[in-house]
Structure 1
Amino acid sequence: MAGRRQVEEARPHFFLSYARPRYRPEDGDRWVSKFFHDLCQDISQATGARNPGFMDRQIDVGTEWPDQLADALANCRVFVALFSPAYFTSEYCGKEWAAFLKRYYAQTAGLDSPPAIIPALWTRMEMAEIPEPLHSMQNIPPEFPPAYGSEGLYGIMKLGRFREQYKETVLRLATVIKDRAAECALPFSEVPSLATVQSPFAGAAPGSPRPAIRLTLAAQAIGQLPSGRDTYYYGRTAREWTPFRTEKHTMPIGYFARQVLSELGHDSFVASADEPPQDPGGAPGLLVVDPWAVKDRVIGKRLRQIDRDPVQVLAPFNYEDPQTAKRVETLRADVAEVLPNAAALNGSAPHLTSARAFREALPKAVHEALMRHLKTTDVHPPQAPPSTPRRRLQEPEA
């Protein structure tokens, strides 16, 4: 782990993550630097911050991670990513993204917190140039000037006729950063060392998203619970199951898992174990199971079917739930009896005692699920799609 605690006044409001151009990188840095200083000026005016932002202009890919970079990632309030085609092919940008996300998820652990990553369009981009799971981050706020969506920051800086729209864009972005920093209220926390994190965009060309992950939730709805079971952690369907629920943590586990997978570069979809089974070869899958549900007649039968061709399983055990804490050994034995093959797979975690532990176990489970899927699924080259117009980033409706 890396990063030293800074006094509150010295913490940067934002960390700027950007990709250097391959041709004349010093020239590209000049334009990014101008944008950075303009943004810092507006944030300083809006917040009175002594250290509005952090930008790294000296570190090259492959060099040792300096202390000041780790300090900034560990202390910054939000992370601003300058989206460009080069951003998603830069291993270094991906590592910054991954390191910050590990800190964010370790601190929020499934709480209903607003996203702490703010995208900014550096260049005009098509949808196909951005990893699919991040498309929801690309909606251009309707209050931003129209030229920002059509040209990007670099374009409206270079073209003199957009000078006023550039100044308005920077001012509005500063407002977004100020408001998001206050909403997230992230405290200091160390970040992992550069050598231990992997870019979520590694191994995939722009426009080629990683495989979608199928999340199967094995949990009961309120009306299906065994007599006497506390309904606090359940909802109308399995999708509303919130095993680690508290007053602050109200995010259903399926939604939380999808959020983490999205930031890892994966699209995902959720199914329920009591629904008709889907094609097992269609997508790599994970099973998230409530220990209280494995002996349910319908769900238990489906779980035994899944275990014949097992997938990685994650089982939450909330020790803050008195009923679960009292019956831990019995519930663990039930999971092992119904899902012996799934529980034994590499990447499975059949005893997770907190939302943070769940978040930390999910990437390994996904990795093992992908490796298993690639080994057991026939891969066929896709047919060439018909010619269609390229999709643009979503702009505000008129």
Structure 2
Amino acid sequence: MDLGQTPENRSGDLPPGRISRDRMPYFFLSGARGEDGVYVARFFQDLSAAVRGRLPAGTPVAEVGFLEPGDDAEPLRWRADPESALATAQTFIALCSMRYFLSSRCGRDWGAFAERLDQHADSADAPASNLIALRWADDGPRAQPPMVGGAEVVMHATPYAEEIRELVKIRSHRVEYEAFLDALADRIVTAAHRFPLRPAELARMRAALDAFQDHPARGSGPGRSARVSFAVITGTKEQMSAVRSNVNSYGKRREDWAPYEPRTRQPVMDRAAEVAASRRLRSESVALDSLGDRLAAAGEHNEIVVLLVDAWATQLNELRATLRAASEQDDRTAAVLVPVNFEDPETEANSGMLRVEVLSVFRDRSRRHDLMFYPEVSTAERFDADLAVAIVEAENRLQRADAEAERTSGRSSSGRPILGGP
């Protein structure tokens, strides 16, 4: 059967200098980092094999899919970066869960691909089948995909409505799992050939908004948890090159900072958001020019603020001033974590100086045992654990403050929702 244009000969301009036409992925697999990463990687490998087996003869098959790199995907070597893959992939597969819809990164990925679909809105054949939602984890009715272009996105079903992760994990479900892979691979290949999508401009990919900003998983209501705001206090690669030689862990934005590189290339902002999501807390990044106002209003708004501080930031006058101003704010709901990578020879050689600088900025906190102050977080695993403790301590402080306010004012009930995750 003639499926029409192939992904190799469709029209449209490619992102310059990125992916050749014969390297356009058939699918882009989007999942929340930290969500059973080993099984996500296994699912990606199995799905890639199933898709590869269904391609027309002569189709380049070096990389039929793309899994956005995370800790578990590091052994894989890609010919494309995530932005280019998202700009050229023919289908988008979302591993839906509550954590997925709480992830700003996943929301931007979804939004970027949905915008590509909007480019075909005037087409007679609406390519709705190119965006595929899978139920990775059954987290209840709030973990449902949003509408795209005014149309409901229906979950691609498994044989007996199982969670995808359970099909991957449990060997006794092998028959059902293979049947599901076959059906999904058929859908991917058919969609890619019947509804070929034009590549998108990388600038538009980077400017994509978080499509889950108003998702029910983050919405208000009786069960809503508090918000965690993260402020990444470091510079860009260009800025940090003025004070240190090794700038491999920095990028074009502050939020690109990956302090534990090369062991893990994950930006610390993304890692922090995952820890917050694991407690069912929504999170967002705070611009440094609005950090003071956010810190001042945090307690009143039932909000936790976490400063993710690069010790090297103390060597830049502008950032040092930001740190000093932040240290003078009420620290009742503000946590400070300082990721430090001692595997970096430059950081190791200057560790004593950097520690002194950090402690001098946060002088008051360094004088007491504070569960919301971690001046040397030396590994990614320790970062996860320390941040979780800091969030719990902030929750406890907010609850105690609310109880005290209720006692002194004679209120019968609190006006602030109770904090805490499952």
User: Which TM class, normalised by the smaller chain length?
Assistant: 0.3 to 0.5
Q: Which has the higher contact order (CA 8 A, sep 6+)?
A: 1
TM-score normalised per structure 2: 0.45
TM-score normalised per structure 1: 0.47
